[in-house]
Amino acid sequence: MGDLLRRPTPGPSALEAARTPNFDRVAGAGEFGLIHTIPEGLPPGSDVGNLALFGYDPRECYTGRSPLEAAAMGVKLGPNDIAFRMNLVCLSGAPGQEVMADFAGGHIDSASAAKLVAAMNEACGDETFQFYPGVSYRHLLVWRGGLKGMQCTQPHDISDKPIAEYWPQGEGAAELTRIMRASREVMARHPVNRERAAQGHPPISQVWLWGQGTAPSLPSFKSRYGLNGSCITEVDLVRGVARYAGFKLVEVPGATGYLDTDYAALGAYGLRELAHCDLLFLHIEAPDEAGHQGSQAEKVKAIEQVDEKIVGPLLKGLPGLGPFKLLIISDHATPVSLKTHSRDPVPFALATGEQLRGSERRVKFGESEAAKTGLVIADGFSIVRRMIG
């Protein structure tokens, strides 16, 4: 949900522009400030940010994004295996001058995407390189016994930019480049792309490999914090962190991970699950997707839906379950002006049921008001201790 603290153009951020009476109520009743979820020296991604929000210091345990997604998909990694995120992407421009038009592949449906991944397995897969279908544009390549000295670029960092400078570099890059270039022919001749073109959807141009890493070693959340957790999320990355943490995964019908997700169902399933667990991690992807699109209007709309259909019902239902604490937080900022992630601190609000019951005070939940409080937490992973301590 977060944006830049100092924005390049005047006017409110999406959080500040959104109508969020429930966020504001939590901010007014309890602790409210800024938190750094991304440690210095690590990339400002959902992988790093969510490890921190699960209470793990990313500086100690972060090995890359894709191993977490592999865990979510039930793909086992050996000690020498390298996992890669594989996006289905849409390019524009003449050969040799291609531009990253859409890193999310036009938000292709999962069934169509699975057919393209199967075709990649048939064309390029073997005992060494194995392709696994995920959700929409997000998929997985595992290089068994692979090299790990290459540098890869996150495709959402190069939206609308020429891709020529961003192919993999370093040890092992030649193999990745071979696969990425070979995927162009696979995509060009596949019936799925012909169907997409006939329906007016952009064709998938190729795969893009990034986010590589080896399997991490994480202690369970229960062993570290003494609580049993459940997780509701729409994306494989967070599912993977939750699996490593030992959380129960709860699937919600209608949860798409996009702007059309069923917010009310996410809230209802979350409240239902809290009757059976000590702690719930409820992750909503839509504000991030709107930020990547560079759409202030869609980001405002998504934030308002979270406030109204998720946080509102939680605030009404939680008192009936006994004493509670509620934390509202982002894993990272996705500024509309950048269309990608940034390492800016993000607002957070933490309140107990007791504080909420006795307070009518409201403070606008947003970057500017959070900064005015003077409360800044330097280590994002410490928020779990602060919440449950």
Tens digits of per-residue pLDDT, 186-213? 999 999 999 999 999 999 999 999 999 9
State whether 260 and 278 are in the same domain.
yes
State whether 251 and 346 are in the same domain.
yes
Low-confidence ranges of the chain (pLDDT < 50): none
State whether 254 and 121 are in the same domain.
no
Q: Please name the residue that has the structure tokens 């500040």.
A: 16
Residue 206's nearest CA partner among 363, 303, 93, 297 is 93
Q: Which of 185, 213, 241 lies at the terminal end of a domain, its last residue?
A: 213
The answer to whether position 375 is within a domain reads yes
pLDDT of residue 203: 95
State whether 279 and 317 are in the same domain.
yes
The answer to whether position 11 is within a domain reads no
> Is residue 10 classed as helix, strand or coil in its secondary structure?
coil
pLDDT of residue 56: 97
pLDDT of residue 8: 77
What Å distances lie between residue 382 and 54, 55, 167, 260, CA to CA?
A: 9, 6, 37, 33
pLDDT of residue 221: 97
The answer to whether position 165 is within a domain reads yes
* Domain with 36 in it: 17-62+219-388
Type and span of the H or E element at 26: helix 21-29
State whether 44 and 144 are in the same domain.
no
pLDDT of residue 135: 87
**Under a CB-based contact definition with an 8 Å cutoff, are residues 220 and 243 in contact?**
no
Q: Which of 175, 198, 213 lies at the terminal end of a domain, its last residue?
A: 213
State whether 202 and 229 are in the same domain.
no
The answer to whether position 379 is within a domain reads yes
State whether 153 and 191 are in the same domain.
yes
Q: How many domains does the chain have?
A: 2
State whether 323 and 263 are in the same domain.
yes
Signed CA dihedral, 61, 64, 65, 66: sign only: negative
State whether 107 and 184 are in the same domain.
yes
The answer to whether position 37 is within a domain reads yes
The answer to whether position 9 is within a domain reads no
Q: Which of 184, 213, 242 lies at the terminal end of a domain, its last residue?
A: 213
Rounded to the nearest 5°, which phi and psi values hold at 94? -75, 155
Give me the amino acid identity at 13: S
> Is residue 102 classed as helix, strand or coil in its secondary structure?
strand
The answer to whether position 77 is within a domain reads no
The answer to whether position 181 is within a domain reads yes
State whether 144 and 289 are in the same domain.
no
CA torsion angle 284 287 291 294 (round to 10): 140
The CATH code of the domain that includes 345 is 3.40.720.10
State whether 232 and 106 are in the same domain.
no
**Under a CB-based contact definition with an 8 Å cutoff, are residues 72 and 236 in contact?**
yes
pLDDT of residue 10: 83
State whether 189 and 266 are in the same domain.
no
